Structure 1
Amino acid sequence: MVESPIFEIFDGLPRQGPGNNKCTEKAFNLLSPLPAGTKILDIGCGVGMQTIHLAKICNDCHITATDIYQPFLDKLMENAVKEGLDDRITTVCASMDDLPFEAGEFDIIWSEGSIFVIGFEKGLSYWKQFLKDEGYIALTESTWFTDEPSSEVLQFWQDCYPDIKSIPDTEKVIMAAGYDLIDRFKLPASTWYDFYSNLEKRVDDISDNYKGNTDAETILSFNRKEIKIFREHPDEYGYTFFILQKNTNK
Protein backbone atom coordinates (compact mmCIF):
# COMPACT_ATOMS: atom_id res chain seq x y z
CA MET A 1 0.00 0.00 0.00
CA VAL A 2 1.35 3.47 -0.89
CA GLU A 3 1.90 6.21 1.68
CA SER A 4 -1.42 8.02 1.22
CA PRO A 5 -4.82 7.17 -0.19
CA ILE A 6 -4.65 10.40 -2.18
CA PHE A 7 -1.68 9.10 -4.12
CA GLU A 8 -3.20 5.65 -4.52
CA ILE A 9 -6.42 7.13 -5.91
CA PHE A 10 -4.73 9.36 -8.45
CA ASP A 11 -1.94 6.94 -9.33
CA GLY A 12 -4.60 4.78 -10.94
CA LEU A 13 -5.96 7.49 -13.24
CA PRO A 14 -4.90 8.45 -16.78
CA ARG A 15 -5.00 12.11 -15.71
CA GLN A 16 -4.93 13.63 -12.25
CA GLY A 17 -7.49 16.31 -13.09
CA PRO A 18 -9.97 17.45 -15.76
CA GLY A 19 -8.53 18.14 -19.20
CA ASN A 20 -7.68 16.42 -22.46
CA ASN A 21 -5.18 16.54 -25.29
CA LYS A 22 -7.48 18.71 -27.40
CA CYS A 23 -7.49 21.44 -24.72
CA THR A 24 -3.74 21.14 -24.20
CA GLU A 25 -3.16 21.59 -27.92
CA LYS A 26 -5.62 24.49 -28.15
CA ALA A 27 -3.73 26.31 -25.40
CA PHE A 28 -0.35 25.56 -26.99
CA ASN A 29 -1.54 26.91 -30.33
CA LEU A 30 -2.41 30.24 -28.69
CA LEU A 31 1.28 30.89 -28.01
CA SER A 32 3.33 32.94 -30.43
CA PRO A 33 5.85 31.10 -32.63
CA LEU A 34 8.45 29.59 -30.33
CA PRO A 35 12.24 29.69 -30.67
CA ALA A 36 14.22 26.59 -31.52
CA GLY A 37 15.10 24.62 -28.42
CA THR A 38 12.17 25.98 -26.41
CA LYS A 39 12.34 24.88 -22.77
CA ILE A 40 9.06 24.03 -21.05
CA LEU A 41 8.58 23.46 -17.32
CA ASP A 42 5.49 21.34 -16.55
CA ILE A 43 4.69 21.87 -12.86
CA GLY A 44 2.59 19.32 -10.98
CA CYS A 45 2.61 17.08 -14.03
CA GLY A 46 1.12 13.94 -12.47
CA VAL A 47 1.50 10.97 -14.81
CA GLY A 48 1.96 13.45 -17.62
CA MET A 49 -0.72 12.97 -20.25
CA GLN A 50 -0.30 16.65 -21.17
CA THR A 51 3.49 16.34 -20.97
CA ILE A 52 3.49 13.56 -23.54
CA HIS A 53 1.16 15.49 -25.83
CA LEU A 54 3.26 18.65 -25.59
CA ALA A 55 6.31 16.61 -26.56
CA LYS A 56 4.42 15.30 -29.60
CA ILE A 57 3.23 18.68 -30.87
CA CYS A 58 6.37 20.71 -30.11
CA ASN A 59 9.09 19.03 -32.13
CA ASP A 60 11.94 21.27 -31.06
CA CYS A 61 11.15 21.58 -27.35
CA HIS A 62 12.50 20.01 -24.20
CA ILE A 63 10.14 19.53 -21.28
CA THR A 64 11.14 19.34 -17.64
CA ALA A 65 8.26 17.72 -15.77
CA THR A 66 7.99 18.07 -12.01
CA ASP A 67 5.83 16.42 -9.39
CA ILE A 68 6.20 15.68 -5.69
CA TYR A 69 5.34 11.98 -6.14
CA GLN A 70 8.05 9.91 -7.82
CA PRO A 71 5.77 7.05 -8.99
CA PHE A 72 3.86 9.58 -11.14
CA LEU A 73 7.14 10.58 -12.78
CA ASP A 74 8.14 6.94 -13.27
CA LYS A 75 4.84 6.29 -15.07
CA LEU A 76 5.33 9.39 -17.20
CA MET A 77 8.74 8.21 -18.37
CA GLU A 78 7.46 4.68 -18.96
CA ASN A 79 4.83 6.17 -21.30
CA ALA A 80 7.39 8.51 -22.89
CA VAL A 81 9.61 5.53 -23.73
CA LYS A 82 6.63 3.74 -25.32
CA GLU A 83 5.93 6.82 -27.45
CA GLY A 84 9.60 7.31 -28.38
CA LEU A 85 9.60 10.73 -26.69
CA ASP A 86 11.88 10.10 -23.71
CA ASP A 87 14.69 12.16 -25.25
CA ARG A 88 12.45 15.25 -25.07
CA ILE A 89 11.41 14.89 -21.42
CA THR A 90 13.30 15.10 -18.13
CA THR A 91 11.62 14.53 -14.77
CA VAL A 92 12.45 16.18 -11.45
CA CYS A 93 10.83 15.18 -8.16
CA ALA A 94 10.26 18.51 -6.42
CA SER A 95 7.62 20.54 -4.64
CA MET A 96 6.07 23.33 -6.68
CA ASP A 97 6.89 25.82 -3.91
CA ASP A 98 10.58 24.83 -3.80
CA LEU A 99 11.80 24.36 -7.36
CA PRO A 100 15.50 23.67 -8.05
CA PHE A 101 15.87 25.77 -11.21
CA GLU A 102 17.75 28.87 -12.31
CA ALA A 103 16.19 32.27 -12.80
CA GLY A 104 15.06 32.82 -16.39
CA GLU A 105 15.60 29.17 -17.32
CA PHE A 106 12.33 28.45 -19.17
CA ASP A 107 10.42 29.82 -22.14
CA ILE A 108 7.11 28.34 -20.96
CA ILE A 109 5.65 27.16 -17.68
CA TRP A 110 2.77 24.69 -18.02
CA SER A 111 0.43 23.77 -15.19
CA GLU A 112 -2.82 21.89 -15.72
CA GLY A 113 -4.94 21.52 -12.61
CA SER A 114 -2.16 21.96 -10.09
CA ILE A 115 -1.60 25.63 -9.17
CA PHE A 116 -4.38 25.44 -6.57
CA VAL A 117 -1.98 23.40 -4.40
CA ILE A 118 0.29 26.39 -3.86
CA GLY A 119 -2.44 28.99 -4.38
CA PHE A 120 -3.06 30.95 -7.59
CA GLU A 121 -1.56 34.27 -6.57
CA LYS A 122 1.40 32.70 -4.76
CA GLY A 123 2.11 30.37 -7.68
CA LEU A 124 2.11 33.18 -10.24
CA SER A 125 4.42 35.24 -8.06
CA TYR A 126 6.89 32.46 -7.18
CA TRP A 127 7.06 30.79 -10.60
CA LYS A 128 7.63 34.06 -12.45
CA GLN A 129 11.35 34.08 -11.61
CA PHE A 130 11.91 30.89 -13.63
CA LEU A 131 10.58 32.44 -16.85
CA LYS A 132 12.67 34.20 -19.44
CA ASP A 133 11.67 37.75 -20.28
CA GLU A 134 8.35 37.65 -22.17
CA GLY A 135 8.02 33.95 -21.37
CA TYR A 136 4.62 32.31 -21.10
CA ILE A 137 2.56 30.54 -18.50
CA ALA A 138 -0.30 28.29 -19.62
CA LEU A 139 -2.45 26.95 -16.79
CA THR A 140 -5.90 25.90 -15.70
CA GLU A 141 -7.56 27.41 -12.66
CA SER A 142 -10.94 26.83 -11.03
CA THR A 143 -13.33 29.72 -11.72
CA TRP A 144 -16.95 30.59 -11.19
CA PHE A 145 -19.12 30.49 -14.30
CA THR A 146 -22.02 32.20 -12.52
CA ASP A 147 -22.41 35.24 -10.28
CA GLU A 148 -24.89 33.37 -8.09
CA PRO A 149 -23.67 29.87 -7.24
CA SER A 150 -26.01 27.53 -5.39
CA SER A 151 -25.60 27.49 -1.62
CA GLU A 152 -24.42 23.86 -1.69
CA VAL A 153 -21.80 24.66 -4.33
CA LEU A 154 -20.65 27.79 -2.54
CA GLN A 155 -20.21 25.89 0.72
CA PHE A 156 -18.28 23.11 -1.02
CA TRP A 157 -15.80 25.57 -2.51
CA GLN A 158 -15.47 27.52 0.73
CA ASP A 159 -14.45 24.26 2.36
CA CYS A 160 -11.98 23.06 -0.28
CA TYR A 161 -10.68 26.11 -2.18
CA PRO A 162 -12.00 29.46 -0.94
CA ASP A 163 -9.71 31.32 -3.39
CA ILE A 164 -11.93 30.43 -6.34
CA LYS A 165 -12.90 33.60 -8.21
CA SER A 166 -14.88 34.73 -11.24
CA ILE A 167 -12.97 34.88 -14.53
CA PRO A 168 -12.73 38.72 -14.45
CA ASP A 169 -11.45 38.67 -10.85
CA THR A 170 -8.93 35.95 -11.74
CA GLU A 171 -7.71 38.12 -14.61
CA LYS A 172 -7.16 40.99 -12.16
CA VAL A 173 -4.88 38.73 -10.10
CA ILE A 174 -2.98 37.79 -13.25
CA MET A 175 -2.32 41.39 -14.24
CA ALA A 176 -1.43 42.45 -10.68
CA ALA A 177 1.15 39.63 -10.59
CA GLY A 178 2.94 41.12 -13.60
CA TYR A 179 1.55 39.22 -16.55
CA ASP A 180 -0.35 40.13 -19.68
CA LEU A 181 -3.35 37.96 -20.51
CA ILE A 182 -2.92 36.53 -24.01
CA ASP A 183 -6.12 34.48 -24.15
CA ARG A 184 -8.39 32.18 -22.17
CA PHE A 185 -11.08 29.55 -22.70
CA LYS A 186 -13.31 27.41 -20.54
CA LEU A 187 -12.69 23.67 -20.44
CA PRO A 188 -15.80 21.83 -21.59
CA ALA A 189 -17.86 19.99 -18.98
CA SER A 190 -17.06 16.75 -20.82
CA THR A 191 -13.49 16.90 -19.46
CA TRP A 192 -14.90 16.85 -15.94
CA TYR A 193 -17.33 14.02 -16.67
CA ASP A 194 -14.52 11.93 -18.15
CA PHE A 195 -12.24 12.61 -15.19
CA TYR A 196 -14.94 11.89 -12.62
CA SER A 197 -15.98 8.69 -14.35
CA ASN A 198 -12.44 7.38 -13.88
CA LEU A 199 -12.17 8.80 -10.36
CA GLU A 200 -15.46 7.29 -9.21
CA LYS A 201 -14.43 3.84 -10.41
CA ARG A 202 -11.06 4.17 -8.73
CA VAL A 203 -12.60 5.24 -5.41
CA ASP A 204 -14.97 2.28 -5.52
CA ASP A 205 -12.13 -0.11 -6.34
CA ILE A 206 -9.91 0.86 -3.40
CA SER A 207 -12.47 1.74 -0.71
CA ASP A 208 -12.31 -1.68 0.94
CA ASN A 209 -8.55 -1.24 1.42
CA TYR A 210 -9.16 1.63 3.82
CA LYS A 211 -12.07 0.49 5.94
CA GLY A 212 -11.48 1.63 9.51
CA ASN A 213 -8.89 4.21 8.43
CA THR A 214 -10.67 7.42 9.42
CA ASP A 215 -8.41 9.79 7.50
CA ALA A 216 -8.64 7.74 4.33
CA GLU A 217 -12.39 7.32 4.59
CA THR A 218 -12.72 11.11 4.92
CA ILE A 219 -10.75 11.61 1.71
CA LEU A 220 -12.77 9.02 -0.19
CA SER A 221 -16.04 10.52 1.09
CA PHE A 222 -14.89 13.95 -0.08
CA ASN A 223 -14.17 12.57 -3.56
CA ARG A 224 -17.67 11.17 -3.79
CA LYS A 225 -19.15 14.48 -2.64
CA GLU A 226 -17.06 16.38 -5.19
CA ILE A 227 -18.32 14.16 -8.00
CA LYS A 228 -21.94 14.46 -6.88
CA ILE A 229 -21.86 18.25 -6.65
CA PHE A 230 -20.38 18.69 -10.11
CA ARG A 231 -22.90 16.37 -11.69
CA GLU A 232 -25.71 18.38 -10.11
CA HIS A 233 -24.23 21.82 -10.94
CA PRO A 234 -21.99 21.50 -14.02
CA ASP A 235 -22.72 25.01 -15.30
CA GLU A 236 -21.74 26.89 -12.15
CA TYR A 237 -17.98 26.38 -12.10
CA GLY A 238 -15.11 24.67 -13.85
CA TYR A 239 -11.59 25.16 -15.16
CA THR A 240 -10.55 28.09 -17.30
CA PHE A 241 -7.36 27.76 -19.33
CA PHE A 242 -5.36 30.98 -19.10
CA ILE A 243 -2.43 31.85 -21.36
CA LEU A 244 -0.22 34.55 -19.86
CA GLN A 245 2.95 36.36 -20.84
CA LYS A 246 5.49 37.74 -18.39
CA ASN A 247 5.38 41.53 -18.42
CA THR A 248 8.93 42.76 -18.04
CA ASN A 249 7.76 46.23 -17.03
CA LYS A 250 6.36 44.94 -13.71
Structure 2
Amino acid sequence: MDDSYFFSIYEGLPRQGPGDNSCTAKAFALTAPPPGKTEIIDIGCGNGMQTIALAKLCSDCMITAIDIYQPFLDELEERAEKEGVEEKIKTICTSMDELDFKEEIFDILWAEGSIFILGVEEAVSKWKSLLKPGGKIAFTEAVWITEERTAVAEEFWLNGYPGMKNEEEICHILESAGFKNVKKFRLPDSAWLKDYYIPLEKKVMKLKGEKHDKEEEEILDFILSEIEIFRKYSNEYGYAFFIAEKIE
Protein backbone atom coordinates (compact mmCIF):
# COMPACT_ATOMS: atom_id res chain seq x y z
CA MET A 1 0.00 0.00 0.00
CA ASP A 2 1.28 3.48 -0.82
CA ASP A 3 1.29 6.35 1.67
CA SER A 4 -1.90 7.98 0.41
CA TYR A 5 -4.19 6.41 3.02
CA PHE A 6 -1.83 7.36 5.85
CA PHE A 7 -1.62 10.96 4.64
CA SER A 8 -5.39 11.14 4.12
CA ILE A 9 -5.98 10.47 7.83
CA TYR A 10 -4.31 13.79 8.61
CA GLU A 11 -6.23 15.85 6.08
CA GLY A 12 -8.44 18.54 7.61
CA LEU A 13 -6.75 18.41 11.02
CA PRO A 14 -5.27 21.52 12.67
CA ARG A 15 -1.74 20.06 12.52
CA GLN A 16 0.16 16.98 11.44
CA GLY A 17 2.50 16.94 14.44
CA PRO A 18 3.00 18.33 17.95
CA GLY A 19 3.13 22.10 18.34
CA ASP A 20 1.04 25.22 18.75
CA ASN A 21 1.14 28.86 17.77
CA SER A 22 2.65 29.99 21.07
CA CYS A 23 5.63 27.66 20.59
CA THR A 24 6.03 28.85 17.01
CA ALA A 25 6.01 32.46 18.23
CA LYS A 26 8.57 31.74 20.96
CA ALA A 27 10.91 30.02 18.51
CA PHE A 28 10.52 32.76 15.91
CA ALA A 29 11.46 35.38 18.49
CA LEU A 30 14.62 33.39 19.24
CA THR A 31 15.63 33.49 15.57
CA ALA A 32 15.88 37.30 15.83
CA PRO A 33 15.36 37.76 12.07
CA PRO A 34 17.38 40.48 10.34
CA PRO A 35 15.80 43.81 9.33
CA GLY A 36 14.27 43.98 5.90
CA LYS A 37 12.60 41.22 3.95
CA THR A 38 13.04 37.78 5.52
CA GLU A 39 13.23 34.73 3.27
CA ILE A 40 11.92 31.63 5.07
CA ILE A 41 11.68 28.03 3.91
CA ASP A 42 9.22 25.83 5.82
CA ILE A 43 10.14 22.22 5.11
CA GLY A 44 7.51 19.53 5.64
CA CYS A 45 4.93 22.23 6.25
CA GLY A 46 1.86 19.98 6.20
CA ASN A 47 -1.30 22.07 5.99
CA GLY A 48 0.58 24.98 7.43
CA MET A 49 -0.66 26.00 10.86
CA GLN A 50 2.86 27.18 11.69
CA THR A 51 3.35 28.63 8.20
CA ILE A 52 0.44 30.99 8.68
CA ALA A 53 1.60 31.83 12.19
CA LEU A 54 5.02 32.77 10.78
CA ALA A 55 3.44 34.90 8.08
CA LYS A 56 1.57 36.85 10.76
CA LEU A 57 4.61 37.14 13.03
CA CYS A 58 6.95 38.43 10.32
CA SER A 59 5.86 41.78 8.90
CA ASP A 60 8.02 41.55 5.77
CA CYS A 61 8.68 38.00 4.62
CA MET A 62 8.28 35.44 1.88
CA ILE A 63 7.73 31.87 3.01
CA THR A 64 8.43 28.98 0.66
CA ALA A 65 6.33 26.12 2.03
CA ILE A 66 7.45 22.63 1.04
CA ASP A 67 5.53 19.37 1.37
CA ILE A 68 5.34 16.12 -0.56
CA TYR A 69 1.53 15.81 -0.29
CA GLN A 70 -0.39 18.21 -2.50
CA PRO A 71 -3.70 18.06 -0.55
CA PHE A 72 -1.89 19.52 2.48
CA LEU A 73 -0.61 22.38 0.33
CA ASP A 74 -4.10 22.95 -1.04
CA GLU A 75 -5.37 23.28 2.54
CA LEU A 76 -2.54 25.67 3.35
CA GLU A 77 -3.37 27.90 0.39
CA GLU A 78 -7.04 28.00 1.40
CA ARG A 79 -6.16 28.85 4.99
CA ALA A 80 -3.66 31.51 3.94
CA GLU A 81 -6.30 33.22 1.80
CA LYS A 82 -8.81 33.20 4.65
CA GLU A 83 -6.20 34.69 6.98
CA GLY A 84 -5.13 37.32 4.46
CA VAL A 85 -1.50 36.20 4.23
CA GLU A 86 -1.57 34.42 0.85
CA GLU A 87 0.83 36.96 -0.71
CA LYS A 88 3.51 35.99 1.83
CA ILE A 89 3.38 32.25 1.08
CA LYS A 90 4.23 30.18 -1.97
CA THR A 91 3.91 26.39 -1.97
CA ILE A 92 5.98 23.75 -3.72
CA CYS A 93 5.12 20.07 -3.79
CA THR A 94 8.41 18.19 -3.56
CA SER A 95 10.39 15.87 -1.32
CA MET A 96 12.51 17.36 1.44
CA ASP A 97 15.53 15.38 0.25
CA GLU A 98 15.23 16.71 -3.30
CA LEU A 99 15.21 20.46 -2.68
CA ASP A 100 16.33 22.31 -5.80
CA PHE A 101 17.30 25.81 -4.69
CA LYS A 102 20.34 28.00 -5.07
CA GLU A 103 22.71 28.05 -2.12
CA GLU A 104 22.49 30.68 0.62
CA ILE A 105 19.13 32.23 -0.28
CA PHE A 106 17.14 31.77 2.95
CA ASP A 107 17.41 33.69 6.23
CA ILE A 108 15.48 31.08 8.22
CA LEU A 109 14.95 27.36 7.71
CA TRP A 110 11.89 26.07 9.57
CA ALA A 111 10.87 22.44 10.17
CA GLU A 112 8.20 21.69 12.77
CA GLY A 113 7.56 17.98 13.24
CA SER A 114 9.24 16.95 9.98
CA ILE A 115 13.00 16.68 10.41
CA PHE A 116 12.70 13.12 11.75
CA ILE A 117 11.89 11.93 8.22
CA LEU A 118 15.54 12.33 7.24
CA GLY A 119 16.97 12.36 10.76
CA VAL A 120 18.58 15.45 12.27
CA GLU A 121 22.13 14.68 11.19
CA GLU A 122 21.28 14.04 7.54
CA ALA A 123 18.77 16.88 7.33
CA VAL A 124 21.14 19.47 8.77
CA SER A 125 23.86 18.32 6.40
CA LYS A 126 21.56 18.47 3.34
CA TRP A 127 19.86 21.75 4.20
CA LYS A 128 22.70 23.86 5.61
CA SER A 129 23.75 25.20 2.21
CA LEU A 130 20.29 26.76 1.73
CA LEU A 131 20.95 29.22 4.56
CA LYS A 132 22.73 32.51 4.19
CA PRO A 133 25.80 33.01 6.43
CA GLY A 134 24.39 33.80 9.86
CA GLY A 135 21.02 32.33 8.88
CA LYS A 136 18.99 30.42 11.45
CA ILE A 137 17.60 26.91 11.56
CA ALA A 138 14.56 26.20 13.75
CA PHE A 139 13.02 22.75 14.11
CA THR A 140 11.20 20.47 16.52
CA GLU A 141 12.30 16.96 17.27
CA ALA A 142 11.23 14.09 19.51
CA VAL A 143 13.72 13.60 22.35
CA TRP A 144 14.22 11.36 25.32
CA ILE A 145 13.84 13.24 28.59
CA THR A 146 14.87 10.56 31.10
CA GLU A 147 17.83 8.17 31.14
CA GLU A 148 15.76 5.39 32.71
CA ARG A 149 12.67 4.48 30.71
CA THR A 150 9.86 1.96 30.87
CA ALA A 151 10.12 -0.96 28.48
CA VAL A 152 6.83 -0.10 26.78
CA ALA A 153 7.80 3.46 25.84
CA GLU A 154 11.33 2.53 24.85
CA GLU A 155 10.23 -0.39 22.68
CA PHE A 156 7.58 1.68 20.93
CA TRP A 157 9.94 4.51 20.01
CA LEU A 158 12.95 2.36 19.22
CA ASN A 159 10.78 0.43 16.77
CA GLY A 160 9.19 3.56 15.31
CA TYR A 161 12.14 5.96 15.46
CA PRO A 162 15.39 4.19 16.35
CA GLY A 163 17.39 7.38 15.80
CA MET A 164 15.65 9.24 18.63
CA LYS A 165 18.15 11.14 20.79
CA ASN A 166 18.24 13.39 23.85
CA GLU A 167 18.54 17.18 23.77
CA GLU A 168 22.28 17.23 24.41
CA GLU A 169 22.92 14.91 21.48
CA ILE A 170 20.90 17.15 19.15
CA CYS A 171 22.87 20.20 20.30
CA HIS A 172 26.13 18.34 19.63
CA ILE A 173 24.97 17.46 16.09
CA LEU A 174 24.20 21.11 15.38
CA GLU A 175 27.51 22.36 16.71
CA SER A 176 29.45 19.68 14.81
CA ALA A 177 27.62 20.67 11.61
CA GLY A 178 28.72 24.29 11.85
CA PHE A 179 26.00 25.96 13.88
CA LYS A 180 26.41 28.09 16.98
CA ASN A 181 24.33 29.82 19.66
CA VAL A 182 22.05 26.82 20.01
CA LYS A 183 18.87 27.61 21.92
CA LYS A 184 16.21 25.13 22.90
CA PHE A 185 13.00 24.70 24.83
CA ARG A 186 10.67 21.80 25.43
CA LEU A 187 7.09 21.79 24.15
CA PRO A 188 4.39 21.40 26.84
CA ASP A 189 2.07 18.39 26.80
CA SER A 190 -0.72 20.68 25.64
CA ALA A 191 1.16 21.19 22.37
CA TRP A 192 0.78 17.46 21.69
CA LEU A 193 -2.86 17.25 22.69
CA LYS A 194 -4.93 20.33 21.81
CA ASP A 195 -4.21 20.75 18.10
CA TYR A 196 -2.74 17.34 17.31
CA TYR A 197 -3.57 14.19 19.27
CA ILE A 198 -7.11 15.05 20.39
CA PRO A 199 -8.39 15.99 16.88
CA LEU A 200 -6.45 13.05 15.41
CA GLU A 201 -7.91 10.60 17.92
CA LYS A 202 -11.45 11.76 17.16
CA LYS A 203 -10.91 11.29 13.44
CA VAL A 204 -9.31 7.85 13.84
CA MET A 205 -12.16 6.63 16.04
CA LYS A 206 -14.62 7.79 13.40
CA LEU A 207 -12.65 6.04 10.66
CA LYS A 208 -12.57 2.81 12.65
CA GLY A 209 -16.33 2.63 12.23
CA GLU A 210 -15.84 2.30 8.49
CA LYS A 211 -14.75 -0.69 6.44
CA HIS A 212 -10.98 -1.07 5.97
CA ASP A 213 -8.49 -3.59 4.73
CA LYS A 214 -6.00 -5.14 7.14
CA GLU A 215 -3.19 -2.66 6.47
CA GLU A 216 -5.45 0.35 6.93
CA GLU A 217 -6.80 -1.04 10.19
CA GLU A 218 -3.24 -1.60 11.42
CA ILE A 219 -2.40 2.05 10.68
CA LEU A 220 -5.40 3.24 12.68
CA ASP A 221 -4.53 0.96 15.60
CA PHE A 222 -0.92 2.15 15.54
CA ILE A 223 -1.99 5.80 15.78
CA LEU A 224 -4.25 5.06 18.75
CA SER A 225 -1.43 3.13 20.41
CA GLU A 226 0.93 6.08 19.95
CA ILE A 227 -1.56 8.45 21.57
CA GLU A 228 -2.13 6.10 24.51
CA ILE A 229 1.59 5.70 25.10
CA PHE A 230 2.01 9.47 25.21
CA ARG A 231 -0.75 9.80 27.78
CA LYS A 232 0.97 7.23 29.99
CA TYR A 233 4.66 8.01 29.47
CA SER A 234 5.02 11.66 28.44
CA ASN A 235 7.30 12.16 31.43
CA GLU A 236 9.93 10.06 29.60
CA TYR A 237 9.98 11.75 26.19
CA GLY A 238 8.72 14.86 24.47
CA TYR A 239 9.28 17.35 21.68
CA ALA A 240 11.84 20.12 21.84
CA PHE A 241 12.40 23.18 19.70
CA PHE A 242 15.98 23.84 18.60
CA ILE A 243 17.16 27.14 17.13
CA ALA A 244 20.73 27.69 15.93
CA GLU A 245 22.77 30.07 13.80
CA LYS A 246 24.84 29.04 10.81
CA ILE A 247 28.49 29.98 11.32
CA GLU A 248 29.57 32.47 8.67
- TM-score band (shorter)? over 0.9
1:92 maps to which residue?
92
One-letter identity of the residue aligned with 1:214: K
Instruction: Tell me the CA shift for residue 169 of structure 1.
Output: 1.4
Q: Which residue of 1 aligns with 2:205?
A: 204
TM-score where L is the length of structure 1: 0.95
- Deviation of 1:217 (Å): 1.5
The structure-2 alpha-carbon separation of the partners of 1:3 and 1:185, relative to structure 1 and needing over 3 Å to count, comes to closer
Q: How does 1:57-206 map to 2 (within 5 A)?
A: 57-194=57-194, 195-206=196-207
Aligned pairs for 1:217-232 (under 5 A) are 217-232=217-232
Give, in whole Å, the separation in 2 of the partners of 1:189 and 1:12.
22
Which amino acid letter does the alignment assign opposite residue 71 of structure 1? P
CA separation of 1:11 and 1:187: change in aligned 2, threshold 3 A: same
- The offset of 1:182, in angstroms, is 3.0
- Cα distance between partner residues in 2 of 1:74 and 1:33: 28
The C-alpha deviation readout for 1:197-241, integer Å capped at 9, x for no partner, is: 111111112224452x12212211110110110000111111100
Question: 1:44 is matched by which residue type in structure 2?
Answer: G
Whole-angstrom CA distance in 2 between matches of 1:185 and 1:44:
21
Aligned AA (2:49): M
Q: Distance in 2 between matches of 1:133 and 1:112?
A: 22
Match of 2:241 in 1: 241
Secondary structure in structure 1 of the residue aligned to 2:208: helix
RMSD: 1.3
Q: Mean alpha-carbon deviation: is it higher for 29-38 or for 197-206? A: 29-38
Aligned partners of 1:18 and 1:192 also within 8 Å: yes
Q: Distance in 1 between matches of 2:34 and 2:179?
A: 18
2:13 matched residue in structure 1: 13
Deviations 1:88-116 (A, max 9, x none): 00000010000121111101000000000
When the two structures are superposed, what TM-score results if normalisation uses the length of structure 2? 0.96
- In 1, distance between residues paired with 2:106 and 2:152? 41
Aligned length: 246
In structure 2, do the counterparts of structure 1 residues 181 and 144 end up closer, same or farther at CA, with 3 Å as the change threshold?
farther
Q: Once superposed, which parts of structure 1, at least 4 consecutive aligned residues long, lie more than 4 Å away?
A: none
Q: Assess, with a 3 A threshold, how the Cα gap between structure 1 residues 80 and 155 changes in structure 2: closer, same or farther.
A: same
Write the deviation string for residues 174-204 of structure 1: whole angstroms up to 9, x where unpaired. Answer: 1112211431000001111222111111111
Mapped contact 1:94–1:100 kept (Cα < 8 A): no
Task: Identify if the C-alpha distance between structure 1 residues 196 and 54 changes in structure 2 by more than 3 Å, giving closer, same or farther.
Answer: same
Flag structure 2 segments of 5+ consecutive residues without an equivalent: none
% identity of equivalent residues: 49
One-letter identity of the residue aligned with 1:14: P
Q: Is the 8 A contact 1:210 1:216 kept in 2?
A: no
Q: Structure 1 residues 102, 151: closer, same or farther in 2, change over 3 A? A: same
Distance (Å, rounded) in 2 between the aligned partners of 1:210 and 1:121: 40
Amino acid at match of 1:45: C
